[in-house]
Amino acid sequence: MSRTVKSARSQHSTQRRKVRGDLASAALELFATKGYEATTVDEIAATAGVARRTFFRHFRSKEEAIFPDHDDTLERVEAVLRGAPAQENPIDTVCRGIKEVMRMYAASPSLSVARYRLTREVPALREREIASVSRYERLFTRYLLARYDDHSHLGDEPLLAEVAASAVVTAHNHVLRRWLRSDGQGDVESALDHAFTIVRRAFGDLPSAAGQRPPAARATTDGEVLVTVARTDAPLPEVMRAIERALDQRG
């Protein structure tokens, strides 16, 4: 590919991100001041300084407009999975992948906090957010299923892949919510790394397609799935201690 073509594509991508960002900011501002139901697509486009047809080139609906980065982030996550070293623990790869999502939120703390507050108030926006998150979970489930040994757990590989993917996403979302509730303050990446340490202890020893057990995780009984219960508003240290106690009792 020539430098000219690469440069043109880069400029197009930059312009696309700018327009999507402007539309997202306009939508968020109008939703906060006028209310979600009272805001129209035409008003969002006008506030962003673009035509109505431009809005629909970037978003299918007004609720989609305040989540402008998920498509690009999903591509970056997929790139992490595709480029993972063959011998890397699949759980480690998935944890690295979802860090791209956290970085998306952490790149604009004030915007992320404002969006979080708004999604708590508007069911349609909350549903849109859930749909966006589910895309990552499905991607991770497919990746893990492809990496696990066939018949290593008596046909339970699909279940284990889905549960492990859900654990990574849940750990990420728990840390993210706590960070957003604290107005985007604190070292969110360190908190995320700590949460992933617990996930790795529970799922990091599942056999991969390469037929090797990652040495960092403690071996557990084949086919065993750890289940523990905690309040959704429980502090992260409390959740981690509950999981650690369950692991200790099991070992």
Distances (CA, A) of 118 to 95, 100, 129, 203: 27, 23, 11, 34
Query: Sorting pLDDT into bands at 50, 70 and 90, what band is 71?
Result: confident
Q: Tokens standing for 131?
A: 């749909």
CA dihedral 47, 48, 49, 54 (to 10 degrees): -120
Angle between helices 236-250 and 188-203 (to 10 degrees): 20
Q: Is 148 helix (H, G, I), strand (E, B) or coil?
A: strand
Q: Any idea which architecture 1-68 has in CATH? A: Orthogonal Bundle (1.10)
Tell me the pLDDT band of 221, cut-offs 50, 70 and 90: very low
Residue 26 confidence class, pLDDT cut points 50, 70, 90: very high
Where along the chain do the CATH 1.10.10.60 domains lie? 1-68
| 92-106, 184-198, 208-222: segment of lowest average pLDDT | 208-222
User: What is the reported pLDDT for 236?
Assistant: 54
**pLDDT for the residue numbered 190:** 93
- CATH: 1.10.10, 2.70.98, 3.30.70, 1.10.357. Which one for 69-250? 1.10.357
Residue spans of beta strands (DSSP E) within the chain:
none
Average pLDDT score over residue span 84-103: 93
**CB 70, CB 60: distance < 8 Å:** no
Closest by CA to 143, choosing from 98, 94, 96, is 94
Rounded average pLDDT over 184-207:
86
Residues contacting 60, CB < 8 A, separation 6+ = none
pLDDT at 70: 87
Q: What is the mean pLDDT of residues 155-180?
A: 91
- Residue ranges of the chain assigned to CATH 1.10.357: 69-250
Percent of the chain with pLDDT over 70: 74
Q: For position 150, what pLDDT does the model report?
A: 61
Is pLDDT above 50 for 220?
no
Residue 65's alpha-carbon distances to 14, 44, 46, in angstroms, are 17, 9, 14
Res. 96: pLDDT tops 50: yes
- pLDDT over threshold 70, residue 166: yes
For the entire predicted model, the pTM comes to: 0.73
* pLDDT tier at 232, thresholds 50, 70, 90: low
Residues 114-140, mean pLDDT to the nearest whole number:
90
What average pLDDT score do residues 107-128 get?
Answer: 89
119 and 126 Cβ atoms separated by less than 8 Å: yes
Residue 211 has pLDDT above 70, yes or no: no
pLDDT band at 148 (very low <50, low <70, confident <90, very high): confident
DSSP 154-179: TT-HHHHHHHHHHHHHHHHHHHHHHH
* pLDDT the model gives residue 142: 94
